[in-house]
Amino acid sequence: AQSVTQPDIHITVSEGASLELRCNYSYGATPYLFWYVQSPGQGLQLLLKYFSGDTLVQGIKGFEAEFKRSQSSFNLRKPSVHWSDAAEYFCAVGARNNDMRFGAGTRLTVKP
Amino acid sequence: GAVVSQHPSWVICKSGTSVKIECRSLDFQATTMFWYRQFPKQSLMLMATSNEGSKATYEQGVEKDKFLINHASLTLSTLTVTSAHPEDSSFYICSARSRGGGETQYFGPGTRLLVL
């Protein structure tokens, strides 16, 4: 079965600074990888996904993620963080015709 | 596109009563819907997977008689928390996967349940 690890529980960055959220997965075959964002009391919004092809994936709100098979990683990046990016971020791994497993989440705080 | 709604968005009920939560895919047909539970400051825990027209598949440790799931149509799934108790208080989130839409799940806004 697939699993996901997000090593950082909480990250604080200054507004305008760059951001990288880490995600490592475990799965025997080629995974389907996702990043979702959750604002307090809200559902999850899909930021981006990777199924195949180009390993650098562009998403909404200026986010991107890079799939590195050799490192079993799918880290999320943004070059310049905005205060509105403060939220909880979840990495998830899915498998074909199977369910999705979520990481524990990383809470992002943005300092003014 | 790919909008999922949930109703109600929050509910307060007395212990022992049953609560029904609806999950609807508004602009696509959802062959599979998922129900998750999320405790404060924690990740999502998958409760069950339901395919239209068939019985739901429950994760280990989830009581199927307590959390009744019905997926009667391609756009609607319901979760009924029967005889709710305070420990059932949580944030319940559904997601839907579309027919021909690959493996992406689209999430509803969640339902906050408080059992007194």
Q: Could you tell me how many CB contacts below 8 A there are between chain A and chain B?
A: 51
Distance from CA of A81 to the nearest CA of B (A): 22
Residue B93 pLDDT: 95
Residue B101 pLDDT: 58
**Residues A24, A103: contact at Cβ < 8 Å?**
no
Residue A69 DSSP SS3 = helix
Percent of chain B, pLDDT > 70? 96
Residues of A in contact with B34 (CB under 8 A): 99-100
Mean pLDDT of B49-59: 88
Residue A76 pLDDT: 98
* Cα–Cα dist B80/A102, whole Å: 24
Residue B53 pLDDT: 80
**Residues B100, B34: contact at Cβ < 8 Å?**
no
Mean pLDDT, chain A cut into blocks of 10 residues (112 residues total): 90 97 89 92 90 92 96 97 96 78 94 94
Is the CB of B49 less than 8 angstroms away from the CB of A99? yes
Q: What is the pLDDT of residues B62-74, one digit of tens each?
A: 999 999 999 888 8
Q: pLDDT at residue B80 above 70? A: yes
Q: pLDDT at residue B40 above 90? A: no
Both tokens assigned to A51:
């199924």
Sorting pLDDT into bands at 50, 70 and 90, what band is B5? very high
* Cα–Cα dist B49/A73, whole Å: 27
Residue B51 pLDDT: 86
Both tokens assigned to A78:
């943004």
Q: pLDDT at residue B13 above 80? A: yes
